[in-house]
Every structure is written in C-alpha cells, then in structure tokens.
Amino acid sequence: MDTRQVIDALNKAVALEHAACIQYKQHALLARGLWRKVYSEFFMSESRAAQEHAAKFGQKIVALGGMPTVEVGATIRQSLDLEEMLRQDLGLERAAMQAYLEAHKLAADDVALTNMLEDHIEGEQRDIEELELCLDMVATGAVAPEVNLRVV
C-alpha cells in the first residue's frame, strides 16, 4: 500500500464530509413548508453524521502518519426547494462515495483499513439509497398501484 496515496484519497473524502456537514446544516436551517419538521431534523442529523465521518477518517489519517485536511471539498449548494436540496445532497453523497471507493482500491493489503472502509461504504450506500427513495428515483414493478390483501 502506498500510504501517501491512501492519505490523499482519505483526505479527499474528509474534505467532502466537511462540505456535507455544512450543506446539510444549511438545508436544515432553510427547510420550510409543511415538511419542515421532518426534513429539518433529517438534514441536521445527516450534518452530524458527516461531521462524525470526517473525524473518524481524520483520526485514521493521523494514525497513518498524515495530516487531516481542514479544507471544504465542494462548493456548498443551497436552495429553498426541498427536492432541490435533496438532489444537491445526493450529489455530494455520491462524490464522497467515489472518494471512499478510491481509497478502498488503494488500501488493498491493509486489512484493517479495507475492513473499516467496507463497513463505512455500506453505510454511505444506505444514505444514498435513502435519498434516492426520498426523490422517488427508484422504479419498481414489484408493487401494483392497487393491492388487494386476501383475508385468510
């Protein structure tokens, strides 16, 4: 494993988590309308999660002998429209996923780091799927619009 390259890849993910932390928090503050309560709490909890992810991998970077970045890895996007906010957040989550996958590729023979990243990638994927479901981007033919449940 090239430690330098791994640290750079992890720092890219950390910088994107910093951006996600700020963007989600801004969306929590700006959410308005009938769904404000639901989405404001959702965005705030995602902001905290992004902060924790940045700290978790920042600590790993220090353990590898590197310096965790304090950069913000993307332009913060904001909107007053909930759907637009969700699309902006999905974009950031997908960018972070790419950074984690890149780090995973580079970490090949470091079992602990590979395992850490695989666990983390699984969680990030769930966040992406949740956003896709909120945006109704998942098409399924499995559920008919009308379902009759049989009484047994």
The residues of the shown chain that bind Fe ion, judged by CB under 5 A, are 53
CA distance 113 to 103: 9
Closest distance to Fe ion from the beta carbon of 95 (Å): 11
Closest distance to Fe ion from the beta carbon of 46 (Å): 8
Residue whose structure tokens are 């978790």 = 56
CA distance 52 to 58: 10
| Nearer Cβ to Fe ion (18/31) | 18
Closest distance to Fe ion from the beta carbon of 131 (Å): 12
Using alpha carbons, select from 93, 88, 90 the residue that is nearest to residue 76: 88
Do 44 and 145 meet the contact criterion of CB atoms below 8 Å apart?
A: no
| Nearer Cβ to Fe ion (82/97) | 97
| Nearer Cβ to Fe ion (65/87) | 87
